[in-house]
Structure 1
């Protein structure tokens, strides 16, 4: 399995790509190409083009959760495919994969929409849409983890505003937050979006679904921004026990959290332009 970071809050040093508060990761497993999240503004298209990655050949577009910093870049992907059709260029019709809540309207702190502004109906015009709360195997080794069971009290966070469902408005606990996991020769590689559901809960679900205790790497957002000490300590205790070979925290993970994690694990730099390969 190979992965490349297309969007993150920062770029690697001396790599001349664009960055923004958002996340998008391109993956290849065997002959299958997967895009995990789409960032905020559409810079993933420019960064991918500069890296020689053809987003028109991506079969599956997986959304970690419905927040704007992970979904608003879908606009750019829709335009990319629309132009390809009009210009007669080859493309693969993508399948959009997400939790059923991922495309619902959300609001927070007076902002009218912090969720995806493309509806499921609109996405259906541009490809297939598969909504599931259950785990879904994308390849023999790569799995969409589905709705995460929240297992650790120290990771429970307050709601993120409101979500507008067919049954009415309710507090948004970001139940749609999920991740990917890939079985490799070195152990599991877990790819996260923001980890609103809890980074430890995500890793535990990945280990359970994949029937693999070894963790080779966790890359993505850990949702640790000014996190309370008891949450940080709980996460440190968990990873000290799991003993991941490497961690690549990025996106919504602040410096203090990275420093704390570095005391119990091999924390490495992540950013736009990072390319990783696993056996």
Structure 2
């Protein structure tokens, strides 16, 4: 499996663009999978700069409906043949509370979704979308994780803490183990790994890739997460976007050569 990061919060290569968002091109089992799309046209600029032809994308997977993972879709000039896989609740009313107590909508662009709904294939449980490539469906909660106290959801006129009903991860099976790819881990990366084990068994996890949403977490939570990942003998921890500088420094110290920080233009081969 080869993963190339197209959008992330960090970049150190000339000609590439960083933004608050996430997208990766995953080459696995003979397929080119676009996982999330960032928030703006940065994805198009970076694809061009890296010499990647978007026409070679076989299908798209969305981790959840936040704007910084779905906004770039509007810039891609998608073919009618490219299917977008997402949870059936991808259009959930995700909100962020402002200092004045009012809310900003931060979900998928409603016009784009309405105009392109025919391209979507929805799921709400484990689904093998191609050989050895699985969508998790909704993520179980095995322990408490509050990723961001500013995030809310509106459902039938009621406002509550966002429980991310649309979030899911991608699980890729290869001969030497599994890779878990997540967008933001709003459910918590510990819950994601436990959810994987509950659905796929006690398999070898060779890598966990994506944002862990720990930028608001303290040392106690960071230690809990790193202890859990270490105890589960995961070979590579590859993270960025919403993970946060403190968590990245912490993981770098703990996992050393097993840790890879994400940045735009980085390619890793499992």
TM-score in terms of structure 1 length: 0.85
Confirm or deny: 8 A CA contact 1:99 1:176 kept in the other structure: yes
Offset at residue 210 of structure 1 (A): 3.4
Contact kept? 2:237, 2:260, Cα under 8 Å: yes
Aligned to 2:106: 114
For residue 86 of structure 1, what is the aligned residue in structure 2? Answer: none
Pairing 1:222–2:212 present: yes
RMSD, aligned CA: 2.1
SS of match in other structure, 1:268: strand
1:7 aligns with 2:7: yes
The 1:61/1:25 distance shift into structure 2, 3 A limit, reads: same
Query: Match of 1:50?
Result: 49
Classify the secondary structure of the residue corresponding to 2:18. coil
Cα distance in 2, alignment partners of residues 159 and 173 from structure 1: 11
| 2:180 matches 1:190 | yes
| Structure 2: distance between partners of 1:69 and 1:29 | 24
The equivalent of 1:168 in structure 2 is 157
CA distance in 2, matches of 1:21, 1:199: 19
Distance 2:251 2:214 in 1: 11
Aligned to 1:100: 88
Q: Secondary structure, in 3 states, of the residue corresponding to 1:18?
A: coil
Q: Does 1:233 align with 2:226?
A: no
- The yes-or-no answer on 1:203 pairing with 2:203 is no
Query: Which residue does 2:123 correspond to in 1?
Result: 132
Q: Say which SS state the counterpart of residue 151 (structure 1) adopts.
A: coil
Distance 1:56-1:92 versus aligned 2 partners, 3 A rule:
farther
SS at 2:247 equivalent: helix
2:29·2:131 contact (CA, 8 Å) conserved in 1?
A: no
Which position in structure 2 is the counterpart of 1:143?
134
Q: 1:30 to 1:183 in 2, by over 3 A?
A: closer
Distance in 2, Cα, partners of 1:96 & 1:51: 23
- TM-aligned CA deviation for residue 25 of structure 1: 0.6
State which drifts further: 219-228 or 257-266. Answer: 257-266
Contact 1:64/1:193, CA 8 A, preserved across alignment: yes
SS of the residue 1:226 aligns to: coil
Q: Which runs of 5+ in 1 are unaligned?
A: 82-90
Aligned to 2:268: 276
Work out whether residues 13 and 265 of structure 2, in 8 Å CA contact, stay in contact via their aligned partners in 1.
no
CA distance in 1, matches of 2:138, 2:36: 16
Q: 1:159 to 1:122 in 2, by over 3 A?
A: farther
Q: For residue 15 of structure 1, report the CA deviation from its aligned partner.
A: 4.7
Counterpart in 1 of 2:65? 66
